[in-house]
Amino acid sequence: MTDAPLTGFRILEVEGIGPGPFAAMMLADLGADVIVVHRPRSGPVAGLRERPVTDRGKRSIVLDLKNEADRKDFLKLVDGADGLIEGFRPGVMERLGLGPEACHAVNPRLVYGRMTGWGQTGPMAHQAGHDLNYISLAGALWSSATGDARPTASPTLVGDIGGGALYLVAGMLSGLLAAGRTGRGTVVDAAICDGAAHMQNLLQSIDGGVDDGPSAVENPLVGAHWSRTYCCADGRYMSVQCLEPKFYAQFLEILDLAADADFAERQFDASAWPRLSARLERLFAGKDSAYWTERFEGTDACVAPVLSPREAFLHPHNAARQTWHDTADGLQAAAAPRFDGLPSRTPAEIRDRGADTETIRSALAQGSGWPDTPEA
């Protein structure tokens, strides 16, 4: 295996923010030829990077999709594409004359990927929202609460990326496989709310993961003393999640608590979790994180230090796998997953907005349905 898995596949992306660009970046990381259609603008947009990491590995063309000539160029690209990704609210692409029906009239094999928060249908389909709102309504945020503490979640990971981008990628790949078999494209309706809800099926399979009460205090993955973070003497944190009894036993052994019946006999006794958590809080607070890291290193106690991305870049395990790369555009994580026979890929170049406009337009004017890459 010498080529990346998606080498030869062509993806057209309409500029957006969040999960759509992330999904297209992931497809580019896997070898797809991605052209992103950037909209014209006069200057930078507050809160957004001019050269976002999610544009790596993509070619860029600036098109005004409200302009008839630019729409024609867009449809020429559609004609040569295998897939399309857009992240507007329902109906926007249709009003531009570029919805699934118009695109399938040009290219029946096209896999048309739609990324939204609430989905293409339903009473909230046209409402605005963000990651926290989607996962709240999906039932995913609820499971992060601990007792009376407010529910919190890592920004974008559960909603935008987990329930959104990754489900869009799965839908696009499924559609591409089906199109190759049947010759017919499809429309992928990837809603963050749907994906976040679907991910809860794993929690629903865990004892204590289902509760109709007002909080998730009975969920062991967020309420137990063996599944949380602890602050150390230096203000840094250690993560603990020794779910299986054999790992929990090793955890207690390392902490010299194996003979303590309160710990040894009450791993799954929810009434004991607050008391045992408080005892562990005092224990971890007595030493700094370097001490605890060294003590648990190489064991199956399921304990690890909480690292920043820069610290993760320097960690021996990540360094050996080349998980992180320090690039001219800043720290970036490498493509994932990996494939046997292919090396870990250095993050691809991030092209300036519109850097390929002239070459792509020139190729389209000469009758090319999809412009070759410069290396081809």
Active site residue 130: yes
Chain length of the chain: 376
With H, G, I as helix, E, B as strand and everything else as coil, classify residue 6: coil
CA pair distance 186, 195, nearest whole angstrom: 19
Give the closest residue to 163 by CA, choosing from 142, 132, 187: 132
Q: How far is CA 18 from CA 40, 88, 173, in A?
A: 19, 11, 19
Catalytically annotated residue among 79, 104, 130, 288: 130
In contact, 140 and 159? CB cutoff 8 Å: yes
For every residue of 148-193, DSSP letters joined together read: TSPP---TTIIIIIIIIIHHHHHHHHHHHHHHHHHS--EEEEEEHH
Active site residue 325: no
Give the closest residue to 190 by CA, choosing from 205, 214, 169: 169
DSSP class of 46: T
* Bridge partners for 35 per DSSP: 12, 59
Give the closest residue to 222 by CA, choosing from 277, 275, 264: 277
| Cβ neighbours of 62 (radius 10 Å) | 19
Q: Output the six-digit token pair for 279.
A: 């005892």
Catalytically annotated residue among 160, 194, 225, 356: 160
Q: β-strands 330-333, 303-305: how paired?
A: unpaired
Q: Output the six-digit token pair for 193.
A: 């709310």
For every residue of 199-262, DSSP letters joined together read: HHHHHHTSTT----SSS-TT-HHHHSTTEEEEE-TTS-EEEEE--SHHHHHHHHHHTT-TT-HH
For every residue of 73-88, DSSP letters joined together read: HHHHHHHH-SEEEE-P
Q: Output the six-digit token pair for 299.
A: 């064991």
Q: Which residues are the active-site residues?
A: 130, 160
